[in-house]
Structure 1
Amino acid sequence: MKAGRVRRTMLYSLTLPYLIVGMVVIIYFGYRCYAQIHFMNQKFEEEDQNVLSKAARELDYLIDDMNQLTLEIELNDRLMRPLNIGINRDGEDNYHIAMACRELQGIKKFNNLIEDVFVYYRKSNLFLRGIGIGDEYRIWNDYSENQVIPFDQWKGNLSIQDFFGTLISVGDAIYYIKTVPFNDEEENCNIIIKINEKRFSENINSFTVENEREIVIVDPSFEIIKTNYHLDESLLNDVQAFLTTSEEKKWTDTSKIKQSEEEYVITYIHEDEEKPYYVIVSKLSQVRKQQTYVLLMYVNGIVVLGILLLYGLHLMEKNYKDIRQVAERLMKASGKEMKKGDSELDYINLAINGMEEIIQNQEDMVVDHCVRRAIYGLIENGDKNYKQLLKNETIMCNGLNIIAIFENMAGRNNEVKEIKLNLFIIENVLKDVLDGQMKYRVIPLCDWEIVILSRETTEGETYDDIKKRLQNVRNYLKESLELDYAVSMSDEVLGIGQLSSAYRDAVRAIETARIVGDGHVISSRTLQDNTDLLDEMDTYEKRLENMIRSGQYEKAVGTMNTLLNQAFKETAVSPETGKIVILNLIKLVNRLKKEYGCAGRLNAMVILKHGGSVHEIRENLDIEIRQLCEYYTADESETRREQIKQYVSEHYSDINLNVAMIAEAFNLNATYLSRYFKEETGENLLSYVNRYRIEQAKKLLDTTDETVTVIASQTGFINIASLIRTFKKYEGITPGQYKEKQLLKS
């Protein structure tokens, strides 16, 4: 096929949508990249606002708690009485100061960030603390151990007058100071609340650890109250300058500062004029790195997508060439020629039509092959791969099918001529017997001839009618042609996809037909797993075993015949159930032969494979049962019973004496021994052992002065509790009560 002669309709119809989809995906990736970067900027700003709002809220809670504390102090009369006390104090003044100190000790601090509370009385120049009183030098010494701050600066900061309350930073310490009452005279005091520096720093840092931000708290006069350890001094000055030079004070604002090749974003919150500024400083490099990573990721994705797009176009062109080569080979094989102006699809259709003509000439061979695949479960109903191949077998594909298996009981040597002859014979007999009522197909498979019977609906002949026709085929082969066949048939299934299920049913039925060997067609519909029969099997086996042991040959054979008739004549059991019945009988015979030391055990595998029908297996088992019955007599049973009782009387004092020990002594099965003893004596063997031990214990209680503990060990009980429990079970009283009763009688 020349390239110039063929219109590339298929190639263009595939390439154009492929390119459009590729471009749409690339544009979508670009849009997602832009949206992601925009989202990161927005999220960065929202995180700053959220962190600041959280910090402001926590500090506002602290200030509210401190205002509540100052209000409680202001309303306390005892704490306000020292306001009028001067520097020179008498005894009554000292009493009022002591009472104020005691009241200050009981003041609730409201917040875990409050470290200490003390009051500075301006008129008396006196500092009052919960732990005592002291002048200003003592307070300064107490709070200046770890600070390098002059006394004058310290006192000046703590003695300011602020009637609204303010946070100040004195060295590394933070104080909240409020002057009460509200007047400008000397008769007022400063309530000074010291904030725990360590806890306050931990609280501030907890808001910034995750996002690596720096928080700065600035008072309304633009003096820095607190910052975390991340911020250096030069950047701190820039922040302070930004707040100082800001012309318009908004509730919140954002600005950028560039310092040492690093760009920062400054965001602050200032709720009212009396409250501090809450400032957060964030490095833009953090979000820039994330945005760069996202941008690189999306760019790399677009590049990879573009490469895949180009590679896909290359593969499409290559595959297109391969399709053309395949089509050319098909055209050459079918002998068709292209017409000028045809497209690739026309080219392929011509090739397929040519192949269909070739397949049609070999239809029988293909159909047989397809049927075999269907039997093996490799074809499903509606399988498009076989729809064209089986287009002339619509009844088999969509209708009702029955599989019948014909097995030559004489066997065959699998020569081609013999197989063809058998197929020819069965096909012609089926043609005469079915008389056009059903379609059929006969194929050889394994050692069988498989017949597939097909019809469209269930109207007309019933399933039993079809079974009778197959029985007629089997009878004709047997009587007229002397060909002994075992025949089985499956249940009806719908469609070719269910042939595997029908085949399995027919195989199970042919196994039963081979075992029964009575010349009837076995239907899988009548097979039963017959779990009830398996449940009754134990009863039949026990009855058979008892009759063999008692030497009742006639009854034993009758029981075996009843079981086999129920399994194979009264009910058509499944081959699995039939095999279980036969195997259990063989197992019982072998166990009894081993018990009596008889030679020549039966081989179950050989019997099932080469033993013939049930009638032949029954005859073999009949011979074995006769031999076993001769080994067993009633006198022998009486002797063994007495031997067991004698063994118990000799070993009752052994604590290990049990059914298994006795069975081992007599070389018997423990389960059989227990069942045998109960059937012979009417009493459980273990119960007999315990009762015998109790009788011996009673004798020792009557004739000796031994303790119950000693008697328990002498009579085979593991401990005294076991003796008492068993004694009371059989006698109704304890050993001690029994001994007292005997003493009273004597």
Structure 2
Amino acid sequence: MKRIRFKFRFSGMFGQTLLVLMTVTIVIGTFFAYFLGNLYEEQYLEKQSDVCFANMKERSLEADKAAASLTAKMESLLQAQDCSRLMVSGKNLLQQQAMNVVQELSNLVDRDEDVTEAYLYLPYSDKVLSSDKSVVNSESFSRQELLDVEGAAAGNGNFTGAMKTGGFGNGLFCLDGEGWMIMDYPDAKTLARVILRLNLPEIYRKMGLAAEQTTGSGMIYVYDGRGIPVFSGMLAYPGAERLMVSEQEQAGDRKEIYRSGEGYILVYQSDRTGWYFIQHMDGIHLDVEAPSLVRALVTYGLFALVLLTIASFYLIWRIYRPFRALLESLISQKNQGGGIGNGGVSATEQELLRGIVKEDREQNERLKDILQSVGASLSEHLFKQLMTGKSWDENAVRQTLEQIQSPFPLDGSYRVLALTYRSREHGGESAVDGELYGLQVIRCSEEYWGKAALVQSVDMEEQKLGIVLCMKTAMTETTWYRELERFEKSLRRRLAERGFEVAAGGSDLAGTFFDLNVLWLQALADLEQRMESARPENPGVQMLGRLLKGDSGKKEQEGNREVHIRVERAKELIKDGYGDSSLSLESISEKLGLTAPYLSRIFAEHQPPGFLDYLNRYRLERAKDFLRKTDETVGDIGLRVGFNSPQSFIRVFKRYEGETPGQFRARIKEGGDA
């Protein structure tokens, strides 16, 4: 077969490929630089604005404290008996009460450094009482605009500082460079108005608005609710052009951020005074020195050019040349009337295509195998990290579970088993034997619990194994610990021929994947208590005790007596606290210094079927006494004996007694057998 040849201009193809790769690299680099710049600016804005807003909030709190203090003093004045009489005295002003109120106004100014003048306006009497101990007619008062109460009744009593129709309403406001505070009484129909002239320099000092006391990138300017500067006499306020904004960047709880030129305007509104705190914050500027920029471009530009050159050669050698040869061959065969099926493609080209497809398939298979093996290892590592209480990130845990396709949900019914094993004879088994025995324990555990739960085994330190169970079906505490006993016996029976001993302990139930550390500690505590109660005394010591003291079985009797005392103590706690709906196995075990699994097991052994059954029956006996001897409602009795709701009381009563509490009471009143 004649080999088909074609003209191939290597320099032209190389140049075009390199040009395309360089263009793509520049576009991606530009986009990435723009993205990083925006991200950096957002982080700068968030962090720097938090500092500024915290500073403005601190200044606002000082103003709020002053406003709250003055409000309390004004309310106290208005509610005084002398003031109440003056409100309705009309034209015949009561002189003695007027003098008393004038004295109170004078005392208010003398005792409060935030106030310079205080007035009480009485619309019915048409009089103004002043802190300078004078009483004048309203038309003689110098600030007539402060006496207009026509629109004041529409005020809602909060400190918005907004203008009311026909006059000033309740609140804080500024007028002609002076600060004022007004309170009308009552809200519906004004009988009296307290007017305070504020000592703005003192409030300015308390708020810490002096230049040396502020932090951030600029001064803080304060405006009242109408946009009038509050401290115009103490601070040079900026012109309107400096506060021009283009668009709103962010908005939150009484916080707003606007873009202004190359910087930002931060606005914070006080909740009580209604004042606006405004601060200008500079934008971020990235200044890069020209020599550093040139050096970086040369270094990374050359490095990128080398990589692009290598990529161009690879693309030409592995992709362009073979497929161009294939295309030329197909065109040639088509012109000659041939086809691929008729030998139109050369053997070399077909082999090349098969190699590419086969290589891709093999790589996919290898990736799948790697993911499966790594997934199992990652799963055990993740569970071990959570069980040992090491630091973890909740989002990272979620992502890991999704990536390894773990069947374990974040929310479920989780329990943990703690297993330990040791050689029956000290030094009798090697480390390899112990490792094999541990693998057998894991296999037996997975077979035993595989139908009832999702199982994950974790190899812990010092010949301890952790078995995490995500239960598929609900199981009571009594059933759980009985099943745990059967599981332990099953392990010992199946692995009896080995030279090891195994013991198991269990935890309580938890509803989330992130409680594995708590469950592991509970399982370890239960395991230690089980091993302590099951640990036999040295046979030689037992025999010596029997021969010398004759106290055979004394240790066992003392152990049983101690367990009996613990159970009786738990019963006493039930008797004393049965009326508490929060009484539970966990709360009683904590008071006794025991773990909940251990108390549940010994309670079930000495008072079957178990703790919950005994608690329910005791509560029902007390409830039957109340049903016989009192006229309380069924719901009140149920709550009195410790049930969470009347419905749960009726449901449990009927399950144990075969009738509802109401039916029981009716039968007793009819003379039936209790």
TM-score, structure 1 as length reference: 0.29
Structure 1 or 2, whichever has the larger Rg, is: 1
Select the structure that is richer in helix: 1
